[in-house]
Amino acid sequence: MTKKINTKLVKLIKYYSLINHNLIYDNKSINRYKFANNFQNTSHKDKELEELKEDIQRIKNCELKKSSKNIVFSDGNPNSKIMIIGEGPGANEDLEGMPFIGRAGQLLDNMLLAINLNRDNVYITNVVNYRPPENRSPTLDEIKRYLPFLTKHIEIIDPKILILLGSTALNTIIGNEEVISKARGKWFKKKIGKCNTLVIVSFHPAFLIRQPKQKAMSWKDLKMIRSKIIELNIKIEK
């Protein structure tokens, strides 16, 4: 009798292991098929992001685009509720078509890891999507030209937490009246397009490489982000 029960149990386990990734069952009377809904949302979001990327690639008479090898659109998880915005691509990012690689990217990865995050559970982009020549900061005209695309990008991701790294991201989203040394370590409630989100500012990893003493301030910002994730009960995809 015990052997028959064990056999049935093994079969049930095998069955549920097959369907578990497609069907997430809970005790509520509604929303039992969460994965199906998430899949639909992901497909819709992926389509919107692809259309946005194509719109950016169609920009004409853009000096940034002319001098770049690749568009640097994004990295990470589009379903994440944590979005990171940097300044613009550097030489390494331009070659690979990926934001935050090289030394600054490695430091960002370590910063995320320190608060139990990684690129699989955040979403990363930049203020501009093409590399400014000689790694200079984007001009005000360049920022204005890319701002509608960035706004749309934020609307699509719809983050609960928006992390701005560096002065360019700060000035683009919060405004020129703030300086990063005074703006960092604070939460701002911000409406960006159709998205209502909480914004925090911190130092850019490239700046921290040049000014390692500021890592202590950056660590305080990271701890604030971790606390807010817990407070808002944001689910982190593993």
What is the predicted pLDDT for the residue at 14?
41
CATH topology of domain 34-231: Uracil-DNA Glycosylase, subunit E (3.40.470)
- 214-233: average pLDDT: 98
pTM here? 0.82
* pLDDT exceeds 60 at position 16: no
Would strands 123-126 and 75-76 be described as parallel, antiparallel, or unpaired?
Answer: antiparallel
Contact 79, 237 (CB under 8 A): yes
The per-type count for the chain, helices as H runs and strands as E runs, is 10, 6
* pLDDT exceeds 60 at position 132: yes
In three-state form (DSSP H/G/I as H, E/B as E, the rest C), the secondary structure along 61-93 is: CCHHHHCCCCCCCCEECCCCCEEEEECCCCHHH
d(CA 24, CA 21): 7
Contact 91, 100 (CB under 8 A): no
What are 134-161's pLDDT values in tens digits?
889 999 999 999 999 999 999 999 999 9
Residue 14's contacts (CB-CB under 8 Å, 6 or more residues apart) are none
What is the predicted pLDDT for the residue at 178?
82
What are 96-120's pLDDT values in tens digits?
999 999 999 999 999 999 999 999 9
d(CA 173, CA 214): 22
What is the predicted pLDDT for the residue at 119?
96
Domain map (residue ranges) of the chain: 34-231
* pLDDT exceeds 70 at position 208: yes
